[in-house]
Amino acid sequence: MLAFEHSFWKEHPGAVLAGVDEVGRGPLAGPVYASAVVIASADADSYLDGPLSGLTDSKKLTAAARSCFCSVLMELPGVRIGLGSASVEEIDDLNILRATHLAMRRAILDLGSPQPVHALVDGLPPKGLPVPSTAIVKGDAKSLLIAAASVVAKVRRDALMVEMDALYPGYGFASNAGYGTKAHLDALRTLGPCPIHRRTFAPVADIIAPTLGL
């Protein structure tokens, strides 16, 4: 889980390196979230063998494990966390890919100073980041820094969607996080979209169209 990090630190000893990941590209509702995580090179190995042992792709962890790792990351010395998001309005205006890259940019900038000199990013190469980056397919299962970012982003977005469930009841946001489950789609047809639904996403647009006479 540290091969990419060690490769970078071998060429750039002690340099600030960030891992970046996003969550929420696929849901029909809610913002897209991103996190950027920095772990000091001197601490990475001991943390991987200790308090961060077992940290991996957030999708492979239970909700309890994600919450635990997120809490640990926020308390460990030498760890810095940045968060960024793009709103539903930005998703609809820009498209989800560009909005995701915007959330990643905001997450890196949220790290404050000193900014990382490079970022390891899950997936395909992003555009518009404030620092050079290396894209790693399935990086959240290969890089400790990216795995950390994936967990933080997932925990924070899930918490937001629980709040949205209380604000907009009936859609099941607390359990589906805005994804298009059958129950969510049924509620969408019955209740219509709420303010945090993504109007440009096909299932939502298809339901809105008849009401607009399209």
* Residue 148 is assigned to a structural domain of this protein: yes
> Residue 37 phi/psi, 5° resolution?
-125, 135
Tokens 């959330």 label which residue?
103
Query: What's the chain's length in residues?
Result: 214
69 found inside a domain:
yes
The radius of gyration of the chain's CA atoms, rounded to the nearest angstrom, is 18
> Would you say residue 190 lies in a domain?
no
The answer to whether residue 206 sits within a structural domain is no
Q: What is the CATH number of the domain that holds 64?
A: 3.30.420.10
The amino acid at 17: L
What residues have CB less than 8 Å from 204, skipping those under 6 apart?
28, 29, 188, 193, 197, 198
Task: Judge whether 53 lies within some domain.
Answer: yes
Residue 98 lies inside a defined structural domain of this protein: yes
pLDDT of residue 212: 46
pLDDT score recorded for residue 72: 98
Contact 22, 96 (CB under 8 A): no
Q: What integer pLDDT is reported at residue 210 of this predicted model?
A: 62
Q: Residue 93 belongs to what domain range?
A: 3-160
Q: How many other CB atoms sit within 10 Å of the CB of residue 22?
A: 27
Q: How many domains does the chain have?
A: 1
In a domain, 184, yes or no: no
Task: Give the pLDDT of the chain (214 residues) as one tens digit per residue.
Answer: 999 999 999 999 999 999 999 999 999 999 999 999 999 999 999 999 999 999 999 999 999 999 999 999 999 999 999 999 999 999 999 999 999 999 999 999 999 999 999 999 999 999 999 999 999 999 999 999 999 999 999 999 999 999 999 999 999 999 999 999 999 999 999 999 999 999 999 999 998 876 544 4
Confidence at residue 208, expressed as pLDDT on a 0 to 100 scale: 83
pLDDT at 17: 98
The beta-strand segments (E) located in 89-200 are 118-122, 133-136
**How much is the pTM?**
0.96
E strand or H helix that includes residue 141: none
In a domain, 42, yes or no: yes
SS3 content of the chain, % helix, strand, coil (to 5): 50, 15, 35
